Amino acid sequence: MGTSLETGSFTLALAGDTMLGRGVAERLGQHPAPSLFSEAVIAAAAEADVFIVNLECAISDRGEPWPDPEKPFFFRAPPVAAEVLARLGVDCVTLANNHALDFGPTALLDTIRHLHDSGVACVGAGATEQEARTPVRIEANGTTIGVVGVTDHPHDYAADDHTPGVAYADLRHSTPSWLTDSIRALETGVVVVTPHWGPNMTSGPVPHVRRAAEELRRAGAKLIAGHSAHVFHGVSRGILYDLGDFLDDYWRDPVLRNDLGLLFLVTFADHQPVGLQAIPLALDYCFTRLAQREEAAWIARRFAEACAAFDTNVELIGGRLVVDWRSCAAWGSTTSGTDRGSGGHRTVTQSIVTRENTRPGPQFSAEGTDGAQNSNQHTSPSKAASRSDRRSRQRIQKRWLHRLPVGGPIQHQPRDILGPF
């Protein structure tokens, strides 16, 4: 992938819940701090022109836990976490979720400041309701991308005219006019909406998520990339219902396997999403790598089954799960196990098509996909670092808060909590 010379064409990398607190924060406090991602994951993300993730924590060394006796989990990362995101090549994070205010308004404002100082844009939270709802604009290969962040829970975290918080919308009952009006008012080539919606640990989108997705698309969103479930869901054209998890220290569900995920690379042409590649990931404790053979096979089966619910066909090409929205197959046309003459033998299982490798990319092998055998097939770490530096210099059009004083040391929760949320 990478940057195209064609106007209106670019690649967008999307990753789900990225939790840098608790056990991950402990690792960030080590000297030297160990890597949180394998080189192959970093290189894969660097193939894109823009990289957006859901930041599932505050970044601060201040604040107090949110005063809710029913809330079991509070996530906070040290200030260095913002630099880690920048080095990874992240261009923008959404803070519209149920952990942005885990340590109160002071920590939220610290988060925004640390991200700004590191060259990472943020959306979906702010010092006031207006700021929280304000989209961010990012330039990619001559195209302006408008990014909108919103969450449907919790209501208590909602910003108002005088209180910092998140961009909240009660999507369970309806899609509010302020949200659809915001999308329509964006005079950008592409609008991306990244909602934190629905309950945890579900295998597919609940009814209100499906309804809201269609309403956001009708309002003008070219791509909707959701998160909250901790596991990836299926996709339909222009809608990624849930990105799953990207980095954490969570307990593993043995059935839904929230320790197995996907990094999504969505390709745009003429300002329209024309296809995606989903790269299988394995989330070890505080470390994310490319999935190994059996892990990748499980991910492929589950993604194909999840996509079949939306009549979306999936091809396995060079170790990546590929959806082509330019073809009639993406709209649910039936396929057979015969070769359709596009470059190799295929077999169909569920709705996934397996094809011989026709592009550079990782192969599922007994040794896994992070091994040396694939070191020449992706962007090198040095190129990834160079692209990260370039991204950090991108012009981000957004108002930022003034610098605030720093406070005392961070405290961490124990690592043996039996639950991810």
18-39 residue pLDDT tens? 999 999 999 999 988 899 999 9
The Cα–Cα gap between 168 and 156 comes to 9
The DSSP output letter for 421 is -
The Cα–Cα gap between 188 and 185 comes to 9
In a domain, 37, yes or no: yes
324-333, long-range: CB within 8 Å, 24+ apart, which pairs?
324/274, 324/275, 325/237, 325/238, 325/273, 325/274, 325/275, 325/276, 326/274, 326/275, 330/237, 330/275, 331/237
- Stretch (H or E) spanning 236: strand 235-236
CATH number of 192's domain: 3.60.21.10
In a domain, 95, yes or no: yes
State the average pLDDT for the chain: 83
What pTM was estimated for this model as a whole? 0.82
Q: Which of 85, 91, 43, 50 is nearest to 381 (CA)?
A: 43
Amino acid at 357: N
In a domain, 292, yes or no: no
The Cα–Cα gap between 301 and 114 comes to 39
The Cα–Cα gap between 8 and 283 comes to 33
Is the distance from CB of 235 to CB of 323 less than 8 angstroms?
Answer: yes
All residue ranges of the chain with pLDDT < 70 are 1-7, 327-421
The Cα–Cα gap between 190 and 274 comes to 13
pLDDT at 6: 56
Domain, as residue range, for 18: 10-282
In a domain, 147, yes or no: yes
pLDDT at 8: 74
pLDDT at 348: 31
What's the structural domain count of the chain? 1
pLDDT at 339: 33
pLDDT digits (tens, 9 = 90+) for 187-214: 999 999 999 999 999 999 999 999 999 9
The Cα–Cα gap between 272 and 260 comes to 29
In a domain, 138, yes or no: yes
pLDDT at 337: 33
pLDDT at 7: 65
